[in-house]
Amino acid sequence: MGSIILVLGGTKSGKTTFAQQLAVDAAAEGAGAVLYIATATAFDEGMQARIRQHQSSRPAGWKTLEEPLCVSAALPEAAEGMQAVLLDCLTLLTSNIIMRLGDEPDREETQNRVLREVEGIIQGASRMDATLVVISNYVEAGLVAPTRLGGIFQDIAGLSHQLVARHADAVYMLTAGIPQRLK
């Protein structure tokens, strides 16, 4: 059974660099195979630039799976033979699911849909031999979202973090590039 590591942090907190090193370290214990699961979609020029930056920061030998919506379904097969799987990122996955439900999604239905996906990822990780490193943006400590949709996102992100953290072997919070182990 593999392990789960949750890496939380704000924008540009250093979480991706730290998570990549965790994946490298986990893979070094085996054959060195790492799967990078990218949830981002290039919806504008700014996101395209972020995606290019993330692509250039990854080691060339890593396998990449672009999966913006159904990570849980793709995870078991894609992770075969891998020593580490890096999921970047849970909050983008959450927003992708929410945005597919329209401008005024039902809060309970949306929460259930996202949490089912997160539970599926956790179940998939429990059947893998690989270490799963999950990156997510910490949005719980900011101001309360001023819009209904933003509030739904913020609440679901917090619940998703709690769910992953309960099952995680380690949880880190990154601030200014400095990791602090929470669990």
Catalytic residue IDs: 54
Bridge partners of 4, per DSSP, are 132
For residues 116-154, b (16+ Cβ closer than 10 Å) or e, as one string?
Answer: ebbebbbebbeebebbbbbbbbbbeeeeeeeeebeebbb
* Residues in CB range of 96: below 8 A, 6 or more apart: 39, 41, 68, 69
| Neighbouring residues of 20: CB distance < 8 A, sequence distance ≥ 6 | 57, 58, 86
User: Residue 41 is encoded by which pair of tokens?
Assistant: 């979609």
Reference 135, options 73, 32, 50; nearest CA is 50
